[in-house]
Amino acid sequence: MLTLKQGRQLQTVLLGTLAWLVALTIFFPIFWMILTSFKTEIDAFATPPQLFFTPTLENYLHIDARSDYFHFAWNSVVVSFGSTLLGMLLAVPAAYSMAFFETKRTKSTLLWMLSTKMLPPVGVLVPIYLIFKDFGLLDTKFGLVLIYTLINLPIMVWMVYTYFKEIPKDILEAARLDGATALQEIYRVLLPISKGGLASTVLLSLILSWNEAFWSLNLTASSAAPLTALVASYSSPEGLFWAKLSAVSTLACAPILIFGWLSQKQLVRGLSFGAVK
């Protein structure tokens, strides 16, 4: 028989092992991608897969020669930050009214907004493509900003709503009695109090926009194409060049990986904030 203390230790060890297994499973593809990006095409294809090889930079040099990485990267930056900014401008007032001026329909509105995320995007591809064509939005950064804002808005409203819900209504009422207008109430009281949660929402929106591929592939060609489109351009026409594909993928992921790494404390804190309660 185990003592209570031994039981607890065993539990810790088992849970720790499980967590590591999950983490490694998730990380492995990224690790393998980075590894492959330094292989020659022959090494990349080898069976059995090679863990040890002579690293080379030829894939990166090839990409640098063939495409203008910074053009795509800049598009990604503009589109993610643009859609995040626009999304926050819409999500904050929406969540404010839902959290503090709740009506009978608030809950169902929220659910309905979220339900739009369950729709397969491809189902609305044709109508959206046609709308974009008619309004001259195809292959424009503004068009991408719009579509990213729209697809991320439900999640952003939901998250901001959750953070606002945690703030006692009394505090806003006190501000109202103190003479604050609705805007002052939001900018001087609500936003500073919920800045942690808002930061997480911004981070998540940036990450989701950066990684989005379906719409960027279908609505852009070259001038507004972000990094996801660059990656895709390496996959099809020339057959499967694993090493080059890995290198370009690594380049596409690197900025957001580093960004996510730097902000992970904030992200984790923000995401668990609402769930703990």
Interface ranges with another protein (CB under 8 A): 168, 170-171, 173-180, 184, 188-189, 192-193
Please answer whether residues 269 and 159 qualify as being in contact, where contact means their C-beta atoms are separated by less than 8 angstroms.
no
C-beta closer to another protein: residue 5 or 104: 104
Least separation in angstroms between residue 189's CB and another protein is 6
* Residue nearer to another protein on the CB measure, 190 or 252: 190
- How far is residue 135's CA from residue 125's CA, in Å, rounded to a whole number? 15
Give min distance, CB of 132 to another protein, in A: 42
Q: Residue 93 CB, nearest distance to another protein (Å)?
A: 19
Residue type for position 215: W
Angle, helices 264-276 vs 195-211, to 10°: value is 110
- Considering the complex, state which of residue 64 and residue 173 has its C-beta at the smaller distance from another protein: 173
Nearer to another protein, 34 or 180 (CB): 180
Minimal distance in Å, beta carbon 221 to another protein? 47
Report helix, strand or coil for 51: coil
- The position carrying tokens 């008619």 is 134
Q: Residues for the chain: how many in total?
A: 277
Rounded to a whole number of angstroms, the minimum distance from the CB of residue 182 to another protein is: 10
What residues contact 169, with CB distance under 8 A and at least 6 apart?
Answer: 100
CB of 107 to another protein, least distance (A): 16
Q: Which is nearer to another protein, 180 or 217 (CB)?
A: 180
Amino acid at 241: F
| Cβ-proximal residues to 122 (8 Å cutoff; 6+ apart), any chain | 214
Do residues 196 and 266 touch, judged by C-beta distance below 8 A? Answer: yes
CB of 142 to another protein, least distance (A): 35
Residue 49 φ/ψ region, left for φ over 0, alpha for ψ in the -120 to 50 degree band, beta for the rest: beta
In this structure, which long-range contacts are made by residues 182-187, counting pairs with CB atoms below 8 Å and at least 24 apart in sequence?
186/92, 186/93, 186/96
Q: How far is CA 269 from the centre of its chain?
A: 16
Fill in the amino acid letter for 108.
Answer: S
d(CA 138, CA 224): 9
Nearest to another protein of 35, 190 (CB atom) = 190
Q: State which residue, 103 or 272, has the beta carbon closest to another protein.
A: 103
